[in-house]
Chains A and B, each alone.
Chain A
Amino acid sequence: MKKAPLLIGIALTATLALAGCAAGGSSSATGKNATIEIGSVYEPQNLDNTAGGGQGVTEALSGNVYEGLFRLTDDGKVENLLAKDYSASADGLTYTFTLQKGVTFHSGAKLTSEDVKFSIEKVLSDKSQSARKSSLAPIASIATPDDSTVVITLKGRSISLPYNLSYVSIYNHAAKNFTTTEDGTGPYELDQWKRGSTLSLKRFDGYWGTRAKNAEVVFNYFSDATALNNALLTNAVDIVTSEQSPDALGQFTSNKDYTVTDGKSTTKLLLAFNDRVAPFNNVLVRKAVSSAIDNKKLLSSIWGKYGTVTGSMVPPTDPWYEDLTSVNPYDPALAKQELAQAGLSNGFSFTLDTPNYDPHPAAAEFIKSELAKVGITVTINTITADEWYSKVYKAHDFVATLQEHVNDRDIVFYANPDFYWGYDNPQVTQWIDEAEQATSTAEQTALLKKANEQIVADAASDWLYLYPQIVVASSKLSGYPVNGLNSQFYAYGIVKK
């Protein structure tokens, strides 16, 4: 027993010695030799976004390691990137792209039109799991008359083609393994991917454009938001790409060592009705439910002063955005009136299929209590993400559900009567199809505005709120994207003082 205090003493000394050792943490280099440590919860499943790589691939690799013919800037504009120039024929069916000269892949191979053709076909292939595959469906054929020219022929007009092409990463057609290695044209090359932990990129000195402003970027992945915030607080990471936990913001907003930016997100939380089945096949019932829920109160109870209520599927960064919150306003008296008109003055009950991850359970509870005030009884059925896909998305076996939709320009889902929510309005479908075939962006915008107004008038879904896109960074950092549209996160402009 006399040995015990000695042992404890040895243990304590060893602990303090270890603790006192020089820190790992963030490097002390600044300026163009800096290493930027980025914290995120979206780890890629693999490195190929046509093979189910997921949101994490866009965040870590798009614009950083891989580039497209076009680039979607942080404020939603489409700029030429690998396409130095392009022109469309008068009938809008033939697009000719001229590639930038002198572009090399990380392996040293030169970029040619062959690589562009290969990359687009990769998205369109039978095995492709790319989320963009259906938007490139108008492409009929791709020709490569010479090394720096690509000619795309379409089956029908598609005004969004340059925009859709900004999502297509250009791969080296000779590369073998896209899931664990990369060979892109971007300002960074992949240094190391330690799954479950970090993905590091180092500056590519052979880059054809402006060199990155930092030497290395490391994405650190966390599955727990608290662990991520702790890492930021202890300077283990310099920036968090998207703050997920509203409660944690308080630690950063009042702290001068950190800058909190509220950008424009494209993620919407929806109460999606199954427009095919009773009672939600009746527009009056959908309008009633929409008017019975105080969206502003829900948003502020989850996000405080952040986020926006838009009243429709269209976020402010889409060109056809309009504030339509007055169409189905929060008005319980109106809701009761509409229910009576629908013959349901005694209310009704339904089951709400709720995904089990934040913020859906909290939103479900709120909706339940709001609807109880107008005589509607909600039974909350909590399900996993996997079950949601099987039950709601594929089998359409639901009455109403909650889901977050992250894409921008996804009003097009309402043109498809077979989409999970079953909204079927032929006029809307026609307007949306015509919008895609418009000859000018002004025409496209006008048509989509009409479509959006109709969708909202029909209360096809209840668009609860638009998530805020909150980036929290050390005050020493500048040049980082604040909107992060579609989860992209361009790291090449980040400067560390």
Chain B
Amino acid sequence: MTTYVFRRLLFLVVTLFLAMAVLFVLLRLLPGDPANALLSLGATPQQIAAAQARVGADQPVLVQFGTWIGQLVTLDFGTSYISDLPVGPEIASRLVVTVPLTLIAFVLAVVVAVPVGFVAAYRSRRWYGLALSALSQLGIAVPVFWIGVLLITAFALQLRVLPAGGFPRDDWADPLDALRSLLLPVITVAIVMSASITRYVRSAVLDVLGSDYLRTSRALGASFGSAMWHHGLRNASVPVISILGIELATTFLGAVVVENVFALPGLGSMLLKAIAQHDYPDIQGILFVSTFAVLVIGFLADLVQRLVDPRLRDSVSGNDAPKNAAPLSDGERAEQQGAT
């Protein structure tokens, strides 16, 4: 297990480095000039030249890249081309909004989706099981900003119980105030996330419900609840954990639309603005943080899967047989290959 963890961490660092290299080159290959965002309509040719110099196209790309990687090691993200402000503290202040939004929405989505998905699977032939399944389809189909706008109209504009947007000036100094500002955005994000998770939980549970081992366990005298708890849930959760990891990772930056609708000063809106202005240091800094977050989430999801499923524990890829196990029968071997 420890070798596995170590190898995965090394893999993570290498992936991060490669991703940053690709990003760095891509940004400079794309059309568009960072200097333009500094100019006004009366700009003289001399001011245009000064803007170009300020965004520093004067050194060879490799040197620029080397300097940047060197700075990254000390977590110095440089300063923005446009605002001249250091990128690191700016990202930190945006994370204070985006991370709680993502995590709370994630927890809420899981708390809702797991029981709902279970019911939709277990009672898939009853009317309420079908209704829950249809509802989750709707949740995936409806655009997230539309849900946000509906919630604002209902709770902020009509009922006046929650703010229509924005985030308190002093961040989390008054936690209740901050949570009030995040409530509607969290619900908006959670609705869409839970719709997706519900689908996967439902299909994983359906799989388990039809499985041999569950039927065997029942036949040996266990109650349905006991059989599900001891055998069914662990098997159902392995694919669901991957999905949870993906959902969490995509929501981290994907919340940009929600941030716009609710006027939240989060990471997504900073990235959107940076892209429009070709502010390379900002873009690079944000994508470093988010790539790191995605890789870590993926790593954690993998780790949890291995903790849950002993068959995955002693191997890196999961395709090899566990070292100390007895030789597998044909049926067991087939089942193991199916599980990965």
Which residues of A are in contact with B by a Cβ distance under 8 Å?
1, 3-4, 7, 11, 15, 18-21, 23-25, 45-46, 48, 51-52, 126-129, 131-135, 179-180, 192, 194-198, 200, 218, 220, 222-224, 226-228, 230-231, 233-234, 236, 384-387, 389-390, 393-394, 405-407, 410, 413
Contact A230 B161 (CB under 8 A): no
Known: A227-B262, A386-B276. Contact between A15 and B183, CB under 8 A?
A: yes
How many angstroms between the C-alpha atoms of A127 and B156 in the bound complex? Answer: 46
Known: A386-B33, A389-B36. Contact between A18 and B176, CB under 8 A?
A: yes
* Nearest chain B residue, comparing its CB with the CB of A223: B260
Which residues of B are in contact with A by a Cβ distance under 8 Å?
31-33, 36-44, 46-48, 50-51, 54, 82-85, 90, 93-94, 108, 111, 115-116, 118-119, 149, 152, 155-157, 160-169, 171, 174, 176-177, 179-181, 183, 260-263, 265-266, 269-270, 272-273, 276-278
* Nearest chain A residue, comparing its CB with the CB of B36: A389
Contact A129 B157 (CB under 8 A): no
Known: A129-B39, A133-B44, A236-B166. Contact between A179 and B32, CB under 8 A?
A: no
Contact B44 A386 (CB under 8 A): no
How many angstroms between the C-alpha atoms of A387 and B32 in the bound complex? Answer: 7
A217 nearest CB across to chain B (Å): 13
Known: A18-B183, A200-B169. Contact between A46 and B83, CB under 8 A?
A: yes
* Nearest chain A residue, comparing its CB with the CB of B86: A180
Which one of A3, A51, A196 has the greatest number of beta carbons of chain B within 10 Å? A196
Question: Can you list 17 pairs linking A and B with CB atoms under 8 Å apart?
Answer: A4-B119, A18-B183, A19-B180, A21-B176, A21-B180, A24-B180, A195-B270, A196-B270, A197-B167, A223-B273, A227-B165, A227-B261, A231-B166, A236-B163, A236-B166, A389-B36, A390-B33
Contact A129 B50 (CB under 8 A): yes
Q: Write out the residue numbers on chain A whose beta carbons fall within 8 Å of the beta carbon of B157.
A: 230, 233-234
Q: Write out the residue numbers on chain A whose beta carbons fall within 8 Å of the beta carbon of B48.
A: 394
Contact B40 A230 (CB under 8 A): no
Given contacts A15-B183, A197-B167, A231-B164, list 18 more A-B pairs with CB under 8 A.
Answer: A4-B119, A7-B115, A18-B176, A18-B180, A24-B163, A46-B83, A51-B84, A129-B39, A131-B40, A133-B42, A133-B44, A134-B44, A194-B169, A195-B265, A196-B266, A227-B261, A384-B32, A393-B39
* Nearest chain A residue, comparing its CB with the CB of B155: A19
Contact B85 A223 (CB under 8 A): no
Q: Write out the residue numbers on chain A whose beta carbons fall within 8 Å of the beta carbon of B164.
A: 227, 230-231, 233-234, 236
**Contact count A vs B, C-beta below 8 Å:** 172
Contact B82 A45 (CB under 8 A): yes
Contact B85 A46 (CB under 8 A): yes
Q: Write out the residue numbers on chain B whose beta carbons fall within 8 Å of the beta carbon of A410.
A: 41-42
Contact A234 B156 (CB under 8 A): yes
Known: A127-B50, A197-B265, A386-B33. Contact between A52 and B276, CB under 8 A?
A: no
How many angstroms between the C-alpha atoms of A18 and B163 in the bound complex? Answer: 12
Contact A198 B263 (CB under 8 A): no
Contact A386 B36 (CB under 8 A): yes
Q: Write out the residue numbers on chain A whose beta carbons fall within 8 Å of the beta carbon of B163.
A: 23-25, 234, 236
Partner of B38, one of A129, A197, A394: A129
Partner of A195, one of B40, B93, B155, B174: B93
How many angstroms between the C-alpha atoms of A230 and B162 in the bound complex? Answer: 12
Contact B41 A405 (CB under 8 A): yes
Q: Write out the residue numbers on chain B whose beta carbons fall within 8 Å of the beta carbon of A405.
A: 41
B52 nearest CB across to chain A (Å): 10
How many angstroms between the C-alpha atoms of A335 and B253 in the bound complex? Answer: 52
How many angstroms between the C-alpha atoms of A1 and B77 in the bound complex? Answer: 49
How many angstroms between the C-alpha atoms of A234 and B165 in the bound complex? Answer: 10
Known: A129-B51, A131-B43, A390-B36. Contact between A24 and B177, CB under 8 A?
A: yes
Q: Write out the residue numbers on chain B whose beta carbons fall within 8 Å of the beta carbon of A24.
A: 163, 168, 174, 177, 180-181
* Nearest chain B residue, comparing its CB with the CB of A251: B157
Q: Write out the residue numbers on chain B whose beta carbons fall within 8 Å of the beta carbon of A406.
A: 41
Contact A1 B33 (CB under 8 A): no
How many angstroms between the C-alpha atoms of A366 and B157 in the bound complex? Answer: 34
Which one of A21, A195, A233 has the greatest number of beta carbons of chain B within 10 Å? A195
Partner of A227, one of B31, B46, B115, B260: B260
How many angstroms between the C-alpha atoms of A3 and B111 in the bound complex? Answer: 11
Q: Write out the residue numbers on chain A whose beta carbons fall within 8 Å of the beta carbon of B37.
A: 45, 52, 386
B49 nearest CB across to chain A (Å): 9
Partner of B265, one of A128, A194, A236, A384: A194
* Nearest chain A residue, comparing its CB with the CB of B187: A15
Contact B166 A220 (CB under 8 A): yes
Q: Write out the residue numbers on chain A whose beta carbons fall within 8 Å of the beta carbon of B90.
A: 195
How many angstroms between the C-alpha atoms of A179 and B79 in the bound complex? Answer: 12
Known: A234-B156, A390-B36, A407-B41. Contact between A126 and B50, CB under 8 A?
A: yes
How many angstroms between the C-alpha atoms of A127 and B54 in the bound complex? Answer: 8
B283 nearest CB across to chain A (Å): 14
Q: Write out the residue numbers on chain A whose beta carbons fall within 8 Å of the beta carbon of B269.
A: 196, 223
Q: Write out the residue numbers on chain B whose beta carbons fall within 8 Å of the beta carbon of A220.
A: 166, 263
How many angstroms between the C-alpha atoms of A46 and B85 in the bound complex? Answer: 8
How many angstroms between the C-alpha atoms of A413 and B43 in the bound complex? Answer: 11
Q: Write out the residue numbers on chain B whose beta carbons fall within 8 Å of the beta carbon of A46.
A: 82-85
Q: Write out the residue numbers on chain B whose beta carbons fall within 8 Å of the beta carbon of A228.
A: 263
How many angstroms between the C-alpha atoms of A126 and B269 in the bound complex? Answer: 33
A392 nearest CB across to chain B (Å): 11
How many angstroms between the C-alpha atoms of A114 and B37 in the bound complex? Answer: 32
Known: A21-B176, A127-B54. Contact between A179 and B85, CB under 8 A?
A: yes
Partner of B47, one of A129, A236, A413: A129
Contact A407 B169 (CB under 8 A): no
Contact B84 A179 (CB under 8 A): yes
A3 nearest CB across to chain B (Å): 7
B134 nearest CB across to chain A (Å): 18
How many angstroms between the C-alpha atoms of A15 and B270 in the bound complex? Answer: 29
B120 nearest CB across to chain A (Å): 12
Contact A18 B278 (CB under 8 A): no
B327 nearest CB across to chain A (Å): 41
